[in-house]
Amino acid sequence: MSNKQKQPVQKTQPTQASSPTSSDRSKPAGFTIPYPMLWLALAAFVVYFPALSMKFTELDDAIFIRDFARYNEDLSNLATSFQRGLFDAVRDPYYRPLFLDSMILNYQVSGQSIAGYHVVNVLLHIGTVLLLFKLFRRLEVKELHAFILALIFAVHPVLSQAVAWIPGRNDTLLAIFIISFLINSIDYANNGKLQTLLLSALFLLLAFFTKETAVFAAPAAFILIVVALKKNWTDKRNLTQYGIWVACFAFWYIARSATSIQTAGIATTQAFTDFIHRLPVIIQYTGKIFLPFNLSVFPTQEDTVYYYGIAAIILLAAIILLNKERNGRIILSGVAVFLLFLMPALLVPMKLNSQTFEHRLYLPMIGILIFLSQTVLLHNKLGDKNTFITAAVICGILAAVNFKHQQNFSDPLTFWTAAAETSPNSAYANMMLAARLDKDQFAQSEALYRKAYRLNPKEKYLNYYIGDMLQMKDSVLASEPYLLTEKSISDYYMCDFLLARVAMMKKDMNGAVAYLTKYLKTDPANKQANNNLLLLYIDTHQQEQAKAQAKNMQQKGIEVPPVILQQLEL
């Protein structure tokens, strides 16, 4: 039975497909924005224009662009991405193949020049803004109000990390796929067209293969269709969609399970404890959305205040209560969508990632904007024109804050300075800032390393940095315990290079050979390591190994001194 036959009482109401057209024509013309999508695209571009000239932050972006250069240059890896983890092919719980593929495709045009990656990030954000405007119209939000809400999303500073920081692309990609899925799911509930159903399935699959957050996309679609738009949840079209959603999840789950990546390895009790510990983050995130004055490039729960969030919640209650014509179903839908898409940020194990990154608000922000559609900000006695002017002023303020906050992503030193200032109790932030100070700031760098060590002596890479610092101070033997500790924590390959020097200082030449041999498995083209290994073979009278090493160096294009070649009779 068709949707019309089962719900005859809705015949007098405009369907969603007709609401933006025939319904609007029956009303007197009021204040409108000509070419709204053009203005939204322009606003998003202008706000993020400074990002186009930004450099690396040295937080993951260098990994995906520089360290993955060999991977990115091979187009056959577009298929390989579906069989591996994100950072590591095997030792990685993150499964995000479409993000990896986006970097491969970007590399074909941009190489290792970061400017091209920033261009793509900004374009993805513009696409998300335009799709969001369409989604609001599908939810029967008045066109002017839909424009204002999308404009807020376009310029809001809390979302700048998702755009200005290259790895934030994962969230913009996900948003494009999920919003497209939501639009087509709503359309199918209205028109029942097979093409629309297939498109919704395609976008849901793309979302799944972008980020795990997609598991909450189908529940969000259910809420918007059944609660916000008051569709019958047992309608045949909706039942069909439920089956498609389950099939998409099963396909993704099977594909992910077929890979060799590991799970997070977190016990259920610990995961529950971490979830309870993270619940107050909801208050912090709410504060950053409505009072974005304590933004951070590297936020932690411990260093983020709660009073902005508490004030924001009070403000929210006031602006919703002041609207006497509020729609409770829309309000409930907005809150539910916000919490659903925020859930992954609450479920991330502390062992895996302790940061409360702001790019995680990119999708939850949709729920907040749905909620805002029922507040006095849009429903008041000012009239459409004055409401728009008021909203434009607010957006102008948000854009100004965004401009300022964006500068924190401009280069590594600026980024990690801001990180250490806003998250002073983060061992990682202090460590990364110390590593990026110039050599003439050695005393400040050492103080930051020591502070980081006091905060967390087992912070990944920290013991390596301290060992490296000690060797620069010619305290080579004192660096050994730190380097050995780092090997037990992360097995970072650079430790082997420094430990080879320790072994040579201790006259343990065979140990030095072993360390350098292991190091060169990861960095085979390192000239100094190759030369050192060759000299060690010669000094320890390992003639055959020395000859093999010299030939290996020549094959790699590393020059071997003529006197050594003569000595080895090569």
Q: Let me know: does 163 contact 114? Beta carbons within 8 Å.
A: no
Q: What is the pLDDT of residues 402-430, one digit of tens each?
A: 999 999 999 999 999 999 999 999 999 99
Residue 29, pLDDT > 90, answer no
What are the b/e assignments for 184-223, b being 16+ CB within 10 Å?
Answer: bbbbbbbebeeebbebbbebbbbbbbbbbbbbbbbebbbb
DSSP class of residue 361?
G
Which pLDDT score, from 0 to 100, does residue 102 have?
Answer: 98
Res 263: pLDDT: 62
C-alpha neighbours within 13 Å on the C-beta side of residue 139: 33
Q: How confident is the model at residue 267 (pLDDT cuts 50, 70, 90)?
A: low
For residue 153, give the nearest of 462, 412, 430, 367 by alpha carbon. 367
> Environment class of residue 136 by beta-carbon count within 10 Å: exposed (0-12), middle (13-18) or buried (19+)?
buried
pLDDT band at residue 262, thresholds of 50, 70 and 90?
low
CB 556 within 8 A of CB 530: yes
The sign of the CA dihedral 69, 70, 74, 77 is negative
Residue 269 CA to residue 427 CA, distance in Å, equals 26
Indicate the Cα dihedral angle 89, 345, 330, 126, nearest 10°.
Answer: -60
| Identity of residue 555 | Q
Instruction: Name, in order, each residue with C-beta under 8 angstroms of 428's C-beta and a sequence gap of 6 or more.
Output: 298, 452, 456, 459, 460, 462
CA-nearest of 513, 463, 521 to 487 is: 463
pLDDT at 14: 40
Distance CA 469, CA 471 (A): 5
**DSSP class of 63:** I
Q: Which fold has domain 426-523?
A: 1.25.40
Give domain limits for the chain: 35-262+273-409, 426-523, 535-570
| Rounded Cα gap, residues 147 and 168, in angstroms | 24
Q: How confident is the model at residue 310 (pLDDT cuts 50, 70, 90)?
A: very high
How is 494-509 classified by DSSP, letter by letter? HHHHHHHHHHHHTT-H
**pLDDT at position 11 over 50:** no
355 in helix, strand or coil?
A: strand
Round to whole Å and give the CA distance between 282 and 290. Answer: 13
Average pLDDT, the chain: 91
What pLDDT is stored for residue 118 in this prediction? 98
Separation of alpha carbons 526 and 553, rounded Å: 10
**Per-residue DSSP letters for 248-314?**
HHHHHHHHHHTS-PPP----HHHHHHHHHHHTTHHHHHHHHHHS-SS--SS-BSTTS-SHHHHHHHH
Per-residue pLDDT reduced to its tens digit, 349-403: 887 778 999 999 999 999 999 999 999 999 999 999 999 999 999 999 999 999 9
Q: How confident is the model at residue 4 (pLDDT cuts 50, 70, 90)?
A: very low
Q: Summarize the confidence of residues 170-189 as an average pLDDT.
A: 98
The structure tokens listed for 20 are: 């933006």
Mean per-residue pLDDT, 194-211: 98
The whole-number pLDDT of residue 264 equals 54
DSSP assignment string, 463-506 = HHHHHHHHHHTT-HHHHHHHHHHHHHHT--THHHHHHHHHHHHT
- Per-residue pLDDT tens over the stretch 211-261: 999 999 999 999 999 999 999 999 999 999 999 999 999 999 999 998 867
Angle of CA points 156, 279, 211, to nearest 5°? 60
pLDDT at 353: 78
Q: What are phi and psi for residue 355, nearest 5 degrees?
A: -80, 155
For the purposes of burial, counting CB atoms within 10 Å of the CB of 514, is it exposed (0-12), middle (13-18) or buried (19 or more)? middle
186 Cβ contact list (under 8 Å, min separation 6): 16, 135, 138, 139, 221, 224, 225, 229
Closest CA to 110 of 176, 66, 148: 66
> Cβ distance 138 to 24 under 8 Å?
no
Is the pLDDT at 26 greater than 60? The verdict is no
Q: What is the pLDDT of residues 492-549, one digit of tens each?
A: 999 999 999 999 999 999 999 999 999 999 999 999 999 999 999 999 989 999 999 9
pTM higher than the cut 0.85 = yes
Nearest to 366 by CA among 335, 393, 343, 397: 335
Sign of the alpha-carbon dihedral angle for 334, 336, 341, 344: positive
Phi first, then psi: give them for residue 300, nearest 5 degrees.
-125, 155
CA dihedral 97, 101, 102, 106 (to 10 degrees): 160
